[in-house]
Structure 1
Amino acid sequence: MNTKIQEKILNPNFIQNTFPLNVKELSENNPYRAMNFINGIWKCASNYLEILDPLNGDKFILVPNNLTEDEINEYRDAAKQCPKSGLHNPLKNPDRYNLYGEVFHRASFLLGLPQVEDYFVHLIQRVAPKSDIQARGEVKVTQRFLMNFSGDQCRFLTRSFNVSGDTQGQQSSGYRFPYGHVAIIAPFNFPLEIPALQMLGALLAGNRLTIKGDQRVSVVLEMFLRLLHLAGLPPTDCDLIHCDGPQMESLLKRTNFRLLQFTGSSGIAERLCNVMNGKIKIEDAGFDWKILGPDVIEFDYVAYQSDQDAYAFSGQKCSAQSILFAHKNWVQAGILDKIKLLAEQRSLKNLTICPILTWNNQRIQAHLDKLVAIQGAKVLFGGKPINEQHQIPECYGSYLPTAVYIPLQQIKENFELVTTEVFGPFQVVTEYENEDHVIEILENIPHNLTAGVVSNDIRFVQKILANTINGVTYAGIKARTTGAPQNHWFGPCGDPRGTGIGSPEAIIQTWTTHREIIMDIGTTPKNLTQS
């Protein structure tokens, strides 16, 4: 480990010296003023937006907003300094693969320090309140990702391949090249994990990056970038911009980024696809489904996982369980009552119920009212704001874990309404007997991110898997829809623009492009014939 880093770690004020945001003192009386980072320099902005504490309404963060034309153009000019061949590639500056291997090694070590891990856990909980287990999971996945791609793994990941040619001295080689100057727009729900993993993948491949987090949580990304600088990240490799959506769109239009990676809502993804003329990789939200097969086993575990998938972090995950297809055998066994019991044990006190950052109570209630108006529909549990005493501001949601039963035969007639994703603690539940009817419904769901096939009946599982395409599908009696670890691909399927996160294949597909070079240095032939 670098001697200077060791000296800083041993300093009793290591956390305060590394991270200017003091999590413990963060409040309306001591707000943090976020800073933009461009071309290796931290900069204050001309205008700021007040961010409210989701738990008490305090104006506890000031984030850059309404940037001036000059401020936006700084990002444009900085991005355009990078050639389309990237900052490094297999033929240019290959030493930078080793550099990133070392940076990742140091960053993994730093993020694994108990005091640093706790700092990010508590910071995540301040801006996107979630349970300690949920927040700590983000930090651990990010730390493991850094570990996975440290050392020689950066250059191993982008290795080339070679095929012999037709004549002496001829051979073709396939290379993975970066795109050049690229951009990331990251979501609010995973303030560290999602932007960090995509950011690191982009950089190790040789791209120069401009990254934007959601303004409500982007201070987490800012602190992570400061950690990477301590680990040796070249300061001019990555710019951080705090701004709103329209201003980022303006930057995209004037900069001509060679690629945008977007994680967020499907509607915004389609808009940005037009802005980027198709040069976009998307991980959008999905109306994610779970099927409980005909075999009723491991009852308590299946109920536990169904509660987790629908209501952990109050359902604010792109992989959250949006609809549960329960076989009649499970319904008769009492699975819905068991899930209700588990959901009712959730509490704001331990953040197993959380503020909802994108859907307020009025919006959730309006959607619920439309659903229960469907013939045969009913609220199974929840269906109202939380009754615990709280100070969650009205701009955020504070709703109980909710399940609405919709008869299977009514789903087709009310398909668009029933399959509207609520980014909150909300799921649709239905009962089935013939899986063919379920498959017919699944065929029409437009977004195919995660799914769970809960069964050990191999023929049943095979039939469902063969007739669906969700990019991340968990199968077997322990199947879930959420909680993706760092050991597999996570991303949608069925969309040419779809992207992944977390695995070597995801980085290759998202952040590199194929280049073929054919070397032909052999003896030239005689008796040439024109054709």
Structure 2
Amino acid sequence: ALYMGNRTTLKVSSNVSVVMEQMIRLLHYVGLPPEDVDMIHCSGHSMGEVLERAQPKMTQFTGSSGVAELLTKTLEGRIRVEDAGFDWKVLGPDVPTTDGSVAYVAGVCDQDAYACSGQKCSAQSILIAHVNWLETDLLEMMKSRAAQRSLDDLTVGPVLSHTTENLLEHVTKLLKLPGSHLLFGGKELDPNTHNVPACYGAIEPTAVFVPLQSILSSADATRLCTKEIFGPMQVVTSFKDGELNDVLTLLASMDAKLTAAVVSSDPHFLHDVLSQTENGTTYAGLRARTTGAPQNHWFGPAGDPRAAGIGSPGAILSTWSCHREIIHDALLSENDQPPPIS
């Protein structure tokens, strides 16, 4: 917003407001004029009243889909949205033959799901692996990496938007689906060594396996398995040859179309998935990940005219500028005649 010359009013989640204030002070220190940004500390409800009264020319909102819909009505459509991201990763049938390649994919899966304790819109929320991958050490490698995460070095940390009780309750609901089982995690961080307040969450990196047909068995089951949990938690499922259409049905049912990944070197498989899915940013190939767009590429949902982009020059132009044209036509010569009557 600043880069495009806008006078900005900034409001962030109350949980991290003090952190953003320090960021603004850092910008002041390196030369940002103090009058260029106004920052407000308040509740979401209070900010809603400010927006309703002020009716700004443009608002960029990052947050839940429900609040985005409410603000769209309040602001009469003058809004760009970067809302919830339930991000998927599909592992194709062509498993690489080297252990190093499998270890690389496992490491990226771990980083996508659990870096920042899963508190990022680009976090891997569901891993859909062809059964060929289950014959490798992929899941054991993911479990091993997750076990190395610690509160001591903040490779796992407090969850700001859910309590421990909420998170574990979600795990319990997933485990009630037929054929489901816990792959790893599913427990509170050692209560003898952590002092995370009860109003936040503190759980181990968690993965729950749910059979694909159980996920698709009912609308309620699909909704449960595709609910975004802003924390270190993911659903894992698998598919066999002949079940790709079921996978595509699942992907099409998801509303949050932010980022995705298709891990495969098979051009036919890549084409089948990429041509029948829509996400703001999709990574394809053996190195594919869900996280990376905020730093490197367009980062915003697909299929929504309100979609905000974050990060790239094109995203900044799209969100924080508008198309306008000024035509200078001023020089009049002695030979110019009035236009004919028509």
TM over 0.5: yes
Q: Distance in 2 between matches of 1:350 and 1:356?
A: 15
Aligned residue among 331, 338, 342 for 2:134: 331
Instruction: Return the letter of the residue paired with 2:132.
Output: N
Which residue is 1:447 aligned to? 256
Shift of the alpha carbon at 1:376? 1.2
Shift of the alpha carbon at 1:447? 1.0
Q: Distance in 1 between matches of 2:110 and 2:37?
A: 39
Which residue is 2:195 aligned to? 391
Instruction: Return the letter of the residue paired with 1:223.
Output: Q
Kindly indicate whether residue 244 of structure 2 is the aligned counterpart of residue 435 of structure 1: yes
On the 8 A contact 2:179/2:210 being kept in 1, the answer is: yes
Which residue is 1:245 aligned to? 44
| Larger RCO (CA under 8 A, 6+ residues apart) | 2
Q: Distance in 1 between matches of 2:236 and 2:128?
A: 6
Kindly indicate whether residue 229 of structure 2 is the aligned counterpart of residue 416 of structure 1: no
Q: Deviations over 1:317-354 (max 9, x none)?
A: 11101100010100111322221121122111111111
Instruction: Kindly report which structure 2 residues correspond to 1:381-530, keeping only aligned pairs within 5 A, or say none.
Output: 381-387=184-190, 389-412=193-216, 413=218, 414-433=221-240, 434-484=243-293, 486-521=295-330, 523-529=336-342
Which residue is 1:310 aligned to? 113
Q: Deviations over 1:27-58 (max 9, x none)?
A: xxxxxxxxxxxxxxxxxxxxxxxxxxxxxxxx
SS in 1 for 2:103: helix
Instruction: Kindly report which structure 2 residues correspond to 1:216-295, keeping only aligned pairs within 5 A, or say none.
Output: 216-295=15-94
Q: Distance in 2 between matches of 1:233 and 1:383?
A: 45
On the 8 A contact 2:86/2:227 being kept in 1, the answer is: yes
Give the structure with higher Rg (CA): 1
SS in 1 for 2:295: coil
Q: Distance in 2 between matches of 1:457 and 1:269?
A: 38
On the 8 A contact 2:294/2:310 being kept in 1, the answer is: no
Instruction: Kindly report which structure 2 residues correspond to 1:11-22, keeping only aligned pairs within 5 A, or say none.
Output: none
Which residue is 2:103 aligned to? 300
Shift of the alpha carbon at 1:212? 1.0
Shift of the alpha carbon at 1:491? 1.4
- CA change 1:518–1:394 in 2 (3 A) is same
Larger mean Cα displacement after TM superposition, 468-477 or 232-241: 232-241
Shift of the alpha carbon at 1:526? 4.8
Shift of the alpha carbon at 1:272? 1.8
SS in 2 for 1:324: strand
The answer for unaligned runs of 5 or more in structure 1 is 1-201
On the 8 A contact 1:447/1:492 being kept in 2, the answer is: yes
Instruction: Kindly report which structure 2 residues correspond to 1:94-113, keeping only aligned pairs within 5 A, or say none.
Output: none
SS in 2 for 1:358: coil
- CA change 1:527–1:509 in 2 (3 A) is closer
On the 8 A contact 2:183/2:209 being kept in 1, the answer is: yes
Shift of the alpha carbon at 1:519? 4.1
- CA change 1:232–1:345 in 2 (3 A) is closer
Instruction: Return the letter of the residue paired with 1:528.
Output: I
Shift of the alpha carbon at 1:267? 2.0
Instruction: Return the letter of the residue paired with 1:403.
Output: A
On the 8 A contact 1:295/1:457 being kept in 2, the answer is: yes
Q: Distance in 1 between matches of 2:277 and 2:45?
A: 36
Instruction: Return the letter of the residue paired with 1:459.
Output: H
Shift of the alpha carbon at 1:520? 4.3
On the 8 A contact 2:9/2:37 being kept in 1, the answer is: yes
Which residue is 2:154 aligned to? 351
- CA change 1:411–1:239 in 2 (3 A) is same
RMSD over aligned Cα atoms: 1.6
Shift of the alpha carbon at 1:436? 2.0
Q: Distance in 2 between matches of 1:386 and 1:246?
A: 33
Instruction: Return the letter of the residue paired with 2:9.
Output: T
Q: Deviations over 1:282-301 (max 9, x none)?
A: 11121100001111121000
Q: Which has the higher strand share?
A: 1
Which residue is 1:165 aligned to? none
On the 8 A contact 1:285/1:319 being kept in 2, the answer is: no
Q: Distance in 2 between matches of 1:227 and 1:393?
A: 28
- CA change 1:357–1:466 in 2 (3 A) is same
Instruction: Return the letter of the residue paired with 1:422.
Output: I
Q: Distance in 2 between matches of 1:409 and 1:234?
A: 57
Shift of the alpha carbon at 1:402? 1.0
Which residue is 1:362 aligned to? 165
Shift of the alpha carbon at 1:485? 5.7
Q: Distance in 2 between matches of 1:283 and 1:526?
A: 50
Q: Distance in 2 between matches of 1:485 and 1:496?
A: 20
Q: Distance in 2 between matches of 1:487 and 1:420?
A: 26
Q: Distance in 1 between matches of 2:151 and 2:31?
A: 40
Q: Distance in 2 between matches of 1:203 and 1:371?
A: 43
Q: Distance in 2 between matches of 1:338 and 1:488?
A: 29
Give percent identity, aligned residues only.
Answer: 53
- CA change 1:366–1:463 in 2 (3 A) is same
Instruction: Return the letter of the residue paired with 1:258.
Output: K
